[in-house]
Amino acid sequence: MSVEPITAADIAAARQRIRGEVLRTPTMPSPSLSERAGQPIHLKMEQRQITGSFKLRGATNAILSLSDDERGRGVVGVSTGNHGRGLAHAASRAGVRAIICMSALVPENKVAAIRDLGAEVRIVGKSQDDAQEEVERLVGEEGMTMIPPFDHPAVIAGQGTLGLEMLEDVPDLAEVLVPLSGGGLIAGIALAIKAQRPQVRVTGISMERGAAMAVSLEAGRPTLTPERPTLADSLGGGIGLDNRHTFAMVRDLVDAVVTLDEGEIAEGIRHGYWREQEVVEGGGAVGMAALIAGKVRPGGPTVVLVSGRNIDMKLHHRLISSEDVDLEEAAA
C-alpha cells in the first residue's frame, strides 16, 4: 500500500487549525548551557504547554481533522502518558469520547492526570505493544478511531508546528536537539525546518534503555526492542513493525542520534531545576543532558526542545536532592 507523504504544507495547515487551542510556548536563552557549549543555546519551553508536554499539538490537530462520523464514534489511543493527556484534553474540548490504553509501566501520576481530564483509562499488560492490542480490539469491535502517539500524518504535522516556531524565534539557527522516541516529534520538526533551512542540523536524543528508533535505524528496519524502566519513561515504547511514516522520515531527515545513560538523564533533570528553575521530566531533559554530558557539541546557535514536565514529583524531589535512583533495580 502506498503512503502519502507528509508535506510542509500539512504543517502550515496544522498551525492554523490548532491556533487558539495550544500555547505558543516561549524560546528562552540559557546562559549556563551557552557558557558550557561555547555557542548560543536556547530552550524551547514546551514543558509549559497546557497539558505539560508537546503531545497536545499533534493530538489537537488529529482531533480537529476528524469527520463528524469519526467524532461520533469516539477515539482511542495507546500512550506512555503524555499523548494520552493531550488526546484526553483535545477530545474533551471537542466533545469527543476518548479511551486511553496504557501499560503497567506508565507512572501513576500520568494515569491519574488522564482520568482527571475525563478520558477512560485501560491498563493492559507490561508494554505499549500489549496496550496496542486493546486499541485494535476497540477499533475492530466498537468502530472507534485510533489516534496513535506518533505514526500518524495529522499527529506528525501538529508536532511539526514546533519547528516553525523555532525558526521564527532563532533566525540564525544552526542545530536543534529533539527528544526521540517513536519519531513523530522529530519527524515533524525536521520536515518543518529543513523545508526552509536544509542546512540546519537535527539531532535526536534518546535513552540507552529501550531506544527503539535508534535500534531500528541501526538495523535498517523497524525492530522490536524490549522496554526497560527508565527516567525517560515518556520515550519508551516501540515504533511498530508496520511503521508507515516516522521510521523513513527520521532515517531521511535526522542528521544524528545520541543515547544517554540513566545518570546523564538525571543530571539533565537536576540542571533543569537548579539552573533553569524549571520542573522537567526525564524525556524532556535529554537535550540538556546531552549537552552537559558532552555528547553533542553544537557548531552554532542551537535550540534544545524541553518537551515535557510531567514527572512524579516525589521522584523529582529525590533526583534534585542528588539521590541515586535506578528504576530498573527498584522494579526488580
Q: What is the dihedral of CA 278, 266, 158, 168, to 10 degrees?
A: 60
User: Rounded to whole angstroms, how far apart are CA atoms 296 and 269?
Assistant: 17
The whole-model pTM stands at: 0.94
| pLDDT of res. 1 | 41
User: Rounded to whole angstroms, how far apart are CA atoms 320 and 332?
Assistant: 23
Which of 80, 117, 45 shows the shortest CA–CA distance to 280? Answer: 45
Q: Which residue has the cell 479511551?
A: 99
34 is catalytic: no
CATH architecture of 56-146: 3-Layer(aba) Sandwich (3.40)
| pLDDT of res. 4 | 73
| 8-53+152-331: in CATH 3.40.50.1100 | yes
| pLDDT of res. 135 | 94
Cβ neighbours around 299 below 10 Å, total:
11
307 is catalytic: yes
Could you list the mean pLDDT of each consecutive 10-residue stretch along the chain, which spans 332 residues? 80 98 98 97 98 96 97 92 92 96 86 92 87 93 94 97 98 98 97 98 96 95 91 89 96 98 98 98 98 97 97 96 88 67
| pLDDT of res. 332 | 64
**Domain layout of the chain by residue ranges:** 8-53+152-331, 56-146
| pLDDT of res. 3 | 67
Type and span of the H or E element at 65: none
- Tell me which of 44, 55, 110, 194 is the catalytic residue: 55
| pLDDT of res. 71 | 96
- Tell me which of 53, 103, 216, 307 is the catalytic residue: 307
Comparing 8-53+152-331 with 56-146, is the CATH topology the same? yes
Write the single-letter amino acid at 154: A
Which grid cell is 147? Answer: 489516534
